[in-house]
Structure 1
Amino acid sequence: MDLLVKQVNLLLVRHGTTRWNREKRYLGHTDIPLDPGGRDELAPLARELAGKAFRGVYCSDLARCRETLAIISPAQADTAMYDPRLREMDFGAWEGHTYEQLQHQSLYRQWIDSPQQVTPPGGESWADFAGRIDGFVGSLLKDVEGACSRPAEAQTGGRAALSGLQGIKTGGAELTGSQRTEIGEAALPGSKGSDDSEAALSRSERSGGTGPESPVPPGMLIVAHGGVLRQLAVRLVPGLSFWDVHVQPGSLLWIRLSFTEETGSWNGKLVNEA
């Protein structure tokens, strides 16, 4: 068995709902705010995180994520790192359009079938999107190492941040039926449903060892977009695919990162709210 030497809890929060989310429009780099319902839906998470400290806070620089962070953790909004690498994929000419408006375009149909091989006109390739997320992960892991090297008495953020999380909306498939799922901020037809997501979650660790007798790792908060959180989970949790992960607006994924001497690397496990 691997000898565990370091652990960090990552709370990954998707921004609240915008008008384009409700209208199922592709929303990438277009900078629009939350709608009133999107702000209201963040209230439960804001109550649970009130007064909680994190060892690092990272946020997309787009308005909908900035606004989300200001609502759920206002005390740390001024000191957070606002990183453009955490932006959603740029959908180029398809920004602001719906599936119904694009469905008869041949390039769009090819992109639905093979998004890793086809790039939206004027938009971002999958390789570029994945590459900037990889760059962020590299920076994050350096900060994780730093958080773990601080004196144990200073590492109080994890316990404070993770206490009382039961009951918060976590993960979950955002589907309009068995034939719909998300690639970024808009819904697409013909992809995997919630059964695949549940199977993926069952492959991940669902208990975090967070009882009173267990030392609680430091906590770090990331506020970003649906596609970004999926790609982060893919990079950090072995065995996950992009389509395994579904995060509703205003909800979170909780990933526990562990470093072992045997592997010499950081690996994550999905942890539910229990």
Structure 2
Amino acid sequence: MEIEAGQGGMQSREVILIRHGTTAWNLEKRYLGHTDIGLLPGAEQELFSLREQFSNITCDALYCSDLQRCQQTLTQIAPSQAGQAELDPRLREIDFGQWEGLTYDQLKNNPQYRKWIDAPQEMTPPKGEPWKAFAERIDSFMEESLMSFSPILHSPNTNVPKIAVITHGGVIRYMVSRLIPDQGFWDTQVIPGQAIKIRLDGNGGSWVGTRLTFP
């Protein structure tokens, strides 16, 4: 899907989408949205490889979900750049409402849950976040921070600006589905501590993304 670009001229940038490291609820396969829990004690070892890869990357902009599991991931993988990060609550995972902390086995016989699995855009978890609200806040972030004209990200030199975003699995799936043509929400698999790199090219009228190998 093409997305409207900012002010004129050809622009390119690389966007690195990073999912936070593993939490206890991830291990237990519990739905984890706005509940603010931290990483497992072994986070430093889990994220060591990503830290090594990230040590050779200088970000022109760095954004992070304000939930502690993402902030802890940030300090593990980019300690020297963490101070420049902007914490943005728009990057939070979707709020699962009354299903927070529950597992598939606990929910599988719930008719509402079955409907939500089949059509999350049409069914909202009890006291949870509607898909429309989730999509709107992510779209708002992308339009403002990834795809708008910015003097900081628009340099006459040959280096392509790099933007890193530390966030959650559902947010990354949604972003990839919006940035890369013919990608559905469930087409992207991203495990804790994984990075996905996308090159965005805009011609002043629209942006289109291409997935690259990380790093």
Q: Normalising to structure 1: TM-score of the pair? A: 0.72
Tell me the C-alpha RMSD between the 2 structures: 1.7
Structure 1 residue 144: deviation in Å? 5.4
Structure 1 residue 147: deviation in Å? 3.4
Q: Provide the C-alpha distance between the structure 2 equivalents of 1:257 and 1:96, rounded to a whole number of angstroms.
A: 35
Mapped pair 1:239 → 2:182 = yes
What one-letter code is carried by the residue in structure 1 that aligns with 2:177? V
Residues 263-274 of structure 1 aligned to structure 2 (within 5 Å): 264-273=205-214
What one-letter code is carried by the residue in structure 2 that aligns with 1:218? P
5+ residue gaps in structure 1?
A: 153-214
Q: Provide the C-alpha distance between the structure 2 equivalents of 1:142 and 1:100, rounded to a whole number of angstroms.
A: 40
Residues 115-264 of structure 1 aligned to structure 2 (within 5 Å): 115-141=120-146, 145-152=150-157, 215-260=158-203, 264=205
Of 58, 69, 78, 1:73 maps to 78
Between the two structures, name the one with larger relative contact order (CA 8 Å, sep ≥ 6): 2
Which residue in 1 is equivalent to 2:107?
102
Q: Looking at CA atoms only, which structure, 1 or 2, has the larger radius of gyration?
A: 1
Whether the 8 Å contact between 1:256 and 1:268 is mirrored in structure 2 is: yes
Q: Provide the C-alpha distance between the structure 2 equivalents of 1:148 and 1:83, rounded to a whole number of angstroms.
A: 19
Distance of aligned partners of 1:254 and 1:144 in 2 relative to their CA distance in 1, 3 Å threshold: farther
Whether the 8 Å contact between 1:8 and 1:256 is mirrored in structure 2 is: yes
What one-letter code is carried by the residue in structure 2 that aligns with 1:21? N
Whether the 8 Å contact between 2:146 and 2:163 is mirrored in structure 1 is: no
Structure 1 residue 237: deviation in Å? 1.2
Give aligned-pair identity as a percent. 47
Structure 1 residue 53: deviation in Å? 1.8
Structure 1 residue 20: deviation in Å? 0.2
Q: Provide the C-alpha distance between the structure 2 equivalents of 1:218 and 1:55, rounded to a whole number of angstroms.
A: 6
Which residue in 1 is equivalent to 2:5?
none
Which residue in 2 is equivalent to 1:29?
34
Distance of aligned partners of 1:26 and 1:103 in 2 relative to their CA distance in 1, 3 Å threshold: same
Q: Secondary structure at the match of 1:26?
A: coil
Structure 1 residue 51: deviation in Å? 5.8
